[in-house]
Amino acid sequence: MTITELLIEAAGWTGAALILGAYILLSLGRLQGNSPAYQWANVIGAAGFILNSGYHGAIPSVAINILWVAIGVFALWRIYKAAA
């Protein structure tokens, strides 16, 4: 396994851990859906999935995760706009 392949796999697993962890914390009431921490975990996690899925040719996963990032970025924009 090359260093590039290792980094791509790490991005995928890190992304999965971030999204799963955020969902667990949301379900336990430790995070709110409108919190920056929850949205950032989803945006960064989905970006990891995009890298990994794209490398492996899983285009449907890439597409859904691009939408996931867009939703998270939109939510972050609204959060920061409301705070200003």
Residue range of the domain that includes 46 = 3-83
Given this model, what pLDDT does residue 47 score? 98
Given this model, what pLDDT does residue 70 score? 98
Please give the average pLDDT of every successive group of 10 residues along the chain, which has 84 residues: 97 98 98 97 98 98 98 98 92
Of 62, 18, 61, which Cα lies nearest the Cα of 40? 18
- Tally of structural domains, the chain: 1
Backbone torsions φ then ψ of 29, nearest 5 degrees: 80, 10
Given this model, what pLDDT does residue 23 score? 98
Given this model, what pLDDT does residue 14 score? 98
Is the separation of the CB atoms in 53 and 64 below 8 Å? no
Given this model, what pLDDT does residue 45 score? 98
Given this model, what pLDDT does residue 84 score? 87
